[in-house]
Structure 1
Amino acid sequence: MKKFISFTGRYIIGISTVLTLLSFRSIPENNVGNKQKDQRPNIVIIMADDLDSRQLSCYGGQNLKTANIDKLAAQGLKFNNIYASEAMCVPTRASLFTGLYPVRHGSYQNHKPVYDNLKSVGHYLADLGYRVGLTGKDHVTKPKTVFPFDIIEGFEPNCVSPTDEYSLDAVKKYMAADQKPYCLFVMSINPHTPWTSGDTTEFEPDKLKLPADWIDTPITRRQYVKYLAEIRRLDNQVGDITRLLAETGQDKNTIVIFLGEQGAQFPGAKWNLWDSGQKSSMIVKWPGKVKEATETGAIVQYEDITPTLIDLAGGKAIAGLDGKTFLPVLTGKSKTARSYAYGIHNNIPEGDPYPIRSIRDNRYKLIMNLLPDKEYYNRFMMTRERKDRNTVWFSWVDKAVDDPNAKKITSRFVNRPAVEFYDLQKDPFELHNLANDPAQAQLIDKLKKELNAWMKQQGDAGAPIDIAIKK
């Protein structure tokens, strides 16, 4: 057996082919002692990094044509209401892998590790006879006892690498390596900062359509061009993976799932609970099982994905998980999955304490800012130590001096009320707070009670957990 050598800097220099099969449940009988190839479907999950899903042309984006992701949508089911419970990388991926909300898996602050006594999709699918591999961004794969993935060489593991060179050779070998089916996570680093990959010449800054909750400045447009170039790079990677499946003849018996993660590292998106950060994308292609060119308004969260993978692999529901299977939505037997999507934000270590909680249904969203007397501050966009003004945020601040609309948007970002309430059907960018509208009082009260009940069930104390963790 080859050994996993680890990685240094930006590149993996070794590969693990050791299969960690921890038996917490027996393998289905039809796999025991059967040397023929298991006919259950393979699963390939392609995940973006900090994707503003509104930019995908199949989700209405107008700045570029994402042909490969659009093709998946034409061949499968597009989810219009999938949400990250915490709009930052580590908590979202930990939720994806464990089926638990952030307070319960422990990674309720960015880069905070999960509790070391947990199980994850790596255990649950291995118990059902699947190989579970991961290539690319891998900083949510520790400890190995919680995340027993086969780490596959090929895609860049470091999300802040200035390049994202990749190869499909090891991925192809993994796909064909065994008679057992596989679940492979392909974790792209696009379009995460520093936005140095991709061809920017495709885009003309002056012709870009900016989101309604942004302020139009030259710096904003310049950075947006770099961001869109990485979305193009992401779309190309999706095309390479899907073509590999076709070339190897595996496309007919492989479920392909595309995931957008959370929003972009622009003001008001990532590290917030507005939809610009919390709302994601998911497309599921499953030949013969999922109807082509369809879409659903069913509410799902990243916590629901592992329970669904267990279900479609033939396993029984795991007691104690927060997520719920949405397999009936995939197969067309149900139009709904859950009543509410929940949100949690803890600002430490990416800024000053600023805890936020949220709940939403198919139309309305309630946000509770638990320290409304404080100002919101994020160190990546609003750096106090470096006010050279050559950043998106400070270009917004400068324009706000004599532009009323810019002042309104920057003030909304920094100074927030205790309660925000939005009609997302009429106000998708959450610019008109209805918290003080008497006509909404009853619904606000109902959602407050639901949100408080969820926090209690999770063991979420609220503001007291948004503190620096002693090491």
Structure 2
Amino acid sequence: MLSFRLIPECNGANKQKEARPNVVIIMADDLDSKQLSCYGGQNLQTTNIDKLAEQGLKFNNIYASEAMCVPTRASLFTGLYPVRHGSYQNHKPVYDNLKSVGHYLADLGYRVGLTGKDHVTKPKAVFPFDIIEGFEPNCVSPTDEYSLEAVKKYMTASEKPYCLFVMSINPHTPWTSGDTTEFDQKKLKLPSDWVDTPLTRRQYVKYLAEIRRLDNQVGDITKLLTETGQDKNTIVIFLGEQGAQFPGAKWNLWDSGQKSSMIVRWPGQVKAKAETNAIVQYEDITPTLIDIAGGKAIAGLDGQTFLPVLKGQSKTARAYAYGIHNNIPEGDPYPIRSIRDDRYKLIVNLLPETEYYNRFMMTRERKDRNTVWFSWVDKAADDPNAKKITSRFVNRPPVEFYDLQNDPFELNNLASDPAQAKRIETFKKELQAWMKQQGDAGASIDIAIRK
């Protein structure tokens, strides 16, 4: 872990001249939020993130609408679902006529900055962030060295309030940062939808080591706020993004990919040691920031403010969370859509007659087969449970329906259960209505984009 010597600011620089709060949003990269100890994780103690949860409000039902980095971050910044902002395939740019949180908060007198992973900041006309040095911008960098000097300068440079996005690259692949000696492979508790192989455990140790790095970064940022006297008038929001780059998580619409984490610390406004089951999505964050800053709701956004939930005035925010997946350019066409409430989830696979394939985890050209996925396939040859899990991943039915309260890893498909028929029909109608409202044509948009 890097160490920093932070010198407190002098005299009036510590004092908050603005009544409106600053906002610091710390975002992970490919985090399996179930590994955070405050969310029930048993493989490591995420001390700093847990401390935020002790001081604020933990959201148990926050979802990425598309379980991949670029669409999720575009949704965060624009308040729009992927089809409407244009980045409905990974690395596809947003439409260039949009506005984002950078505009909305600047219009309300805020400085809006970003440090770290920055590949969703183009075009500048859509994302007019102040880009701050300090955190590694390249998510596939083999190192994640960082410095807080420029971050500190930005925080203390003006009496105007600020919203600063701190975008960590942890725990995104290649999983080469962090100390793996903390973990004993044999004692790790693996997710129930995984196949237990030696290679899986070796890779998982590397992944957990980067979660430790992430937790350290959260600690350094919160410490910086305290040492510059800004902790009392700064909202800290921690976000987990989407799931890990393991089979069945990222690039899918099962909860292992779509379900995220969010913790909000707001001294004097948000109750400490609290949690909520209110359903929210990344599209709701920008409208909430606008509401916090005193602005009026922006017409045409898909997201909606959850400020009443933050202030304890409401236990609900939205009735459903929606999901979209388009597999190109990360693999063969495999469009998926989903809808869920606080207990049940419907997944519709729009090309069920084809096999799911992802080029990062299942590389056909890889002759040595030295990937987690192929270690699962090898074990499936003589292990019925491994065969069930790998078959579930590749060959999917037209409809999946899950009781997430009793089946959190979505291993028991209830699509043919007569007792669920009416509920499934209701979910289908709601999903179809959402797709129509979004202008989502379904399978026909999961195609290669001409450049």
Normalised to the residue count of structure 1, the TM-score between the two structures is 0.92
Superposed CA offset, 1:239-283 (max 9, x none): 000000000000000000000000000000000000000000000
Of residues 191, 199, 212 in structure 2, which corresponds to 1:211?
191
CA drift at 1:38 = 2.1
Segments of 5+ residues of structure 1 without an aligned counterpart are 1-35
Cα distance, 1:227 vs structure 2: 0.0
**Matching residue's letter, 1:191:** P
Partner in structure 1 of residue 17 of structure 2:
37
Residue 22 of structure 1: aligned partner:
none
Q: Distance in 1 between matches of 2:224 and 2:450?
A: 46
Q: What pairs up with 1:115-194 in 2 under 5 angstroms? A: 115-194=95-174
Task: Map 1:190-339 onto structure 2 (within 5 A).
Answer: 190-339=170-319
- Structure 2 Cα separation of the partners of residues 39 and 361 of structure 1: 37
Aligned residue in 1 for 2:69: 89
What is the alpha-carbon distance in structure 1 between the residues aligned to residue 286 and residue 215 of structure 2? 24
AA aligned opposite 2:243: G
Letter in 2 for 1:467: I
1:433 corresponds in structure 2 to 413
SS at match of 1:284: strand
- The amino acid that maps onto 2:33 is S
How many Å apart are 1:159 and its aligned residue?
Answer: 0.0
Once the two structures are superposed, residues 308-355 of structure 1 have per-residue CA deviations (whole angstroms, 9 ceiling, x without a partner) of 000000000000000000000000000000000000000000000000
Structure 1 residue 179, shift from structure 2 partner: 1.2
Cα deviation 1:209-263 (Å, max 9, x = unaligned): 0000000000000000000000000000000000000000000000000000000
Q: Secondary structure at the match of 1:206?
A: helix
Shift of 1:291: 0.2
**2:263 is aligned with what amino acid?**
I
Partner residue in 2 for 1:455: 435
| CA shift for structure 1 position 356 | 0.0
Take 2:78 and 2:212, find their aligned partners in 1: how far apart are those partners?
Answer: 30
The yes-or-no answer on 1:351 pairing with 2:331 is yes
Whichever residue aligns with residue 184 of structure 1, its letter is: L
Q: Secondary structure at the match of 1:385?
A: coil
Q: Distance in 1 between matches of 2:156 and 2:420?
A: 56
Aligned equivalents of 1:385, 1:215: Cα separation in 2: 22
Per-residue deviation, residues 82-121 of structure 1 (Å, max 9, x unmatched): 0000000000000000000000000000000000000000
Alpha-carbon distance, 1:390 to partner: 1.3
Counterpart amino acid of 2:104?
A: Y
Q: Please tell me whether the aligned partners of residues 387 and 394 of structure 1 are also in contact (alpha carbons under 8 angstroms).
A: no
Q: Which of 362, 381, 384 is the aligned partner of 2:361?
A: 381
Q: Deviation of residue 39 (structure 1)?
A: 2.1
SS in 2 for 1:339: coil
- Contact 1:48 1:190 (8 Å CA) reproduced: yes
Taking the aligned partners of 1:242 and 1:90, their CA distance within structure 2 comes to 26
Letter in 2 for 1:325: T
1:369 and 2:349 equivalent?
Answer: yes
- Structure 2 letter corresponding to 1:424: L
Task: Output the TM-score relative to the length of structure 2.
Answer: 0.96
Q: Identity rate of aligned residues, in percent?
A: 89
Letter in 2 for 1:204: D
Distance 2:197 2:127 in 1: 43
Match for 2:28 among 10, 28, 48?
A: 48
Structure 2 Cα separation of the partners of residues 386 and 64 of structure 1: 32
Partner in structure 2 of residue 78 of structure 1: 58
Number of residue pairs aligned between Structure 1 and Structure 2: 436
Shift of 1:367: 0.1
- Show the counterpart of 1:360: 340
Residue 401 of structure 1 corresponds to 381
One-letter code of the match for 1:137? K
Q: CA RMSD in A?
A: 0.6
Letter in 2 for 1:205: Q
Structure 1 residue 387: Cα displacement = 3.3
Instruction: State the AA in 2 paired with 1:442.
Output: K
* Residue number in structure 2 paired with 1:31: none
Gaps of 5+ in 2: 1-15
**In the alignment, which of 426, 439, 444 is matched to residue 446 of structure 1?**
426
SS at structure 2 position matched to 1:135: strand
Offset of 1:37 from its aligned partner?
A: 2.9
Q: 1:146 is matched by which residue type in structure 2? A: V
1:231 corresponds to which letter in structure 2? I
Residue deviations 1:52-110 (CA, integer Å, cap 9, x gap): 00000000000000000000000000000000000000000000000000000000000
Q: Shift in Å at residue 388 of structure 1?
A: 1.2
For each residue in 1:197-219, what CA deviation from the matched residue of structure 2 results, as whole angstroms up to 9, or x when unmatched? 00000001010000000000000
Q: Aligned with 2:278: secondary structure?
A: coil
User: In structure 1, which of residues 35, 45, 58 is the aligned counterpart of residue 38 of structure 2?
Assistant: 58
Deviations along 1:264-308, one digit per CA (max 9) or x if unpaired, are 000000000000000000000000000000000000000000000
Cα deviation, residue 393, structure 1: 0.1
Q: Distance in 2 between matches of 1:337 and 1:324?
A: 8
- Report if the CA contact (8 A) 1:116-1:143 is conserved: yes
Distance in structure 2 (CA, Å) of the matches to 1:387 and 1:168: 43
- State the partner residue of 1:6: none
